Amino acid sequence: MNIIWLGHGSFRIETGDQVILVDPWLSGNPMLPADRHADAVAGATHILVTHGHFDHTADIVSLSAQADIPVSGMVELAQHLHAQGAVEGAAFNMGGTIPIGTGATASMVPASHSSSIPVGQTKHYTGSESGFVLRAEGRCIYLSGDTGLMADMGWIADYFKPDVGILSAGGHYTMDMEMAAYACRTWFDFKLVIPCHYRTFDALEQSADALRNGVMPGTTVIEPQVMKAIRL
């Protein structure tokens, strides 16, 4: 399995016969050079979307339609994207689990954030924000989505027992590095933690040092590099 950061909150996860894009943001993403866009999405078989904000959804309809990639996410958001021309995937809800190809599943779990999408000159709310738990190749990955600290992390950790955490940790719009470290110490038993939703803008944290210094011994923190695979 390869986990590849596309910058900000966007990821490419390669597992088995599947290439899963999570919140793929291409146009306007200051961390992903334009000449790497094609490589970032090449061979994609599925798109998972956590919530409606532009930095997570701006490219989904065009990308899905052009490359025939199904889009799955919170029912209200998924149905909106499908109605705009995205290929229909699963429109599901909290606690739901969907198959992704052979041997992989994605379960929707809560996040604590907000979710809206631009429609003309207004914004429409698109159901609850979410995270996902991805299980494949004997690994269990918690993708927090954009979120602050929340008590729900306790049952997510206890029930799914993820060994890898991909955590929004840039602060300002989500929890920061110290909060992410607190979550790791308090609830999770991650072997590997990958921070995201940071370094993109000046308002966000630029380093994961506080996360690295705050987790329990035995937990590896990898600061991802754009388009460089982290192999599990």
Q: Output the pLDDT for position 121.
A: 86
Q: Output the pLDDT for position 155.
A: 98
Query: Residue 89 above 90 pLDDT?
Result: yes
Confidence of residue 120 (pLDDT cuts 50, 70, 90): confident
Contact 109/25 with Cβ under 8 angstroms?
no
Number of domains in the chain: 1
Query: Residue 81 above 90 pLDDT?
Result: yes
Domain that holds residue 130: 2-231
Q: Which two tokens stand for residue 177?
A: 């590095």
pTM summary value: 0.97
Query: Residue 228 above 90 pLDDT?
Result: yes
Query: Residue 27 above 90 pLDDT?
Result: yes
Domain at 54, CATH number: 3.60.15.10
Give the burial class of 62: count Cβ atoms within 10 A of its Cβ; 0-12 exposed, 13-18 middle, 19 or more buried.
middle
Span 74-101, mean pLDDT? 97
Residues 111 and 146: their CA atoms lie apart, in Å, by 7
Helix ranges restricted to H, the chain: 37-41, 54-57, 60-67, 75-83, 152-160, 177-186, 209-214
Confidence of residue 119 (pLDDT cuts 50, 70, 90): confident
